Amino acid sequence: MMKRLKPLNDIIFKKLFGENQDKELLIGFLNAVLENDVEDLYIIEEKLTKEKIDDKQGILDIKAICYTGEKINIEVQLANEYNMKERTLFYWSKLFTENFKAAEKYSDLNKTITINILGFNYLTDIESYHSSYKIYEDKSKQLLTDLLEIHFIEMPKFNETDVDLHNPLHRWLLFLRGDTVKQPNLEEVFILDQLVAKAEDKLRRLSADEETIRMYQLREKFIADQKTQIEGAKNDGMNAKAAEIAKSLLKIPSMSIQDVANHTGLPLNKVKDLEKEVR
């Protein structure tokens, strides 16, 4: 039986939504996210190569320009690098000012929308799986400008949401989140939504293409390695902080080595080594 590739692998996501020949798929997805009526757009296509599998410079993003002039950037990020807000503003600003000439008027700048689809919970103070940000005045909440719009879609939060098949965004996210075997209502989605059904047909074709499978597997390995490196760096940072706390506690005469180990969670032999540095 043919394995259904994960749509949120960003190689697959870009092949699904990043081609002008199937731009109605992207238009349908954007209308569901933005609750808007995007009628037509042009996708800035970039050829996928093996060298771009481990690229960190936005090559795997999807960039599109609506017929109204609005610019849109979509990124799938499955590994939490703890820099999503800064990264988002950086790529938003690049797209916002792209191709802007010195002699042009600032009023010619077009609205730029960024959509981040995350494989992890990021906005800890927000319960909703879909968040939208603009620029407002602190007290009056009056909108300063609509030129900036940033969306976050956190898939783990969506997975905890009661699914409404009459919600277009729910239908798209059900398609994106993975294995049809674990989603019995996905077949109903295909009946209700012809565009999602078309995206599924395209995904099945991609899942049978040897070159696509090869690039998919390389990208999956890269993402897994990236998550391991991030987790390792996080643990190293936590251990370093715990070591500093342990050193402070060891300076207190009443604190035993066992007490310090209990307070910091560090292994007893590690605390003994730290003791030699302090006492």
Asked if residues 215 and 55 have their Cβ atoms less than 8 Å apart, the reply is no
C-beta of residue 206 within 8 angstroms of C-beta of residue 5:
yes
C-alpha–C-alpha distance, residues 224 and 226, integer Å: 5
DSSP-derived pairing of the beta strands 130-136 and 143-154: antiparallel
Contact (CB, 8 A) for 154 and 120: yes
> What's the order of all strands across the beta sheet hosting 130-136?
41-44, 62-66, 71-77, 112-118, 143-154, 130-136
| Maximum C-alpha span of the chain | 73
pLDDT for residue 113: 97
Q: Please list, in sequence order, all residues whose beta carbon lies within 8 angstroms of the beta carbon of residue 4, skipping any fewer than 6 positions away.
A: 179, 180, 203, 204, 207
**What residues contact residue 257 under an 8 Å CB cut-off, 6+ apart?**
250, 268, 271, 272, 275
Q: What is the pLDDT of residue 235?
A: 65
List all residues 6 or more positions away from 118 whose beta carbon is below 8 Å from its beta carbon: 77, 78, 80, 84, 152, 153, 154, 155
Per-residue pLDDT 10s for the chain (279 aa) are 568 899 999 899 999 999 999 999 999 999 999 998 899 999 999 877 666 566 555 567 999 999 999 999 999 998 887 788 998 999 999 999 998 887 789 998 999 999 999 999 999 889 999 999 999 999 999 999 999 999 999 999 999 999 999 999 999 999 998 765 566 688 899 999 999 999 999 999 999 999 999 999 988 888 788 777 767 665 666 677 777 777 777 777 767 887 777 777 778 888 788 777 776
pLDDT of residue 50: 64
**Tokens read off for 245:** 């706390």
Output the pLDDT for position 59: 62
> pLDDT at position 169, please?
97
Q: What share of the chain is helix, strand, coil (3-state, %, to 5)?
A: 50, 15, 35
Residue-level pLDDT at 54? 60
For residue 245, the model assigns a pLDDT of 79
**To 5 degrees, how large is the angle CA 145–CA 87–CA 37?**
45
Query: For residue 101, what is the enclosing H or E element?
Result: none
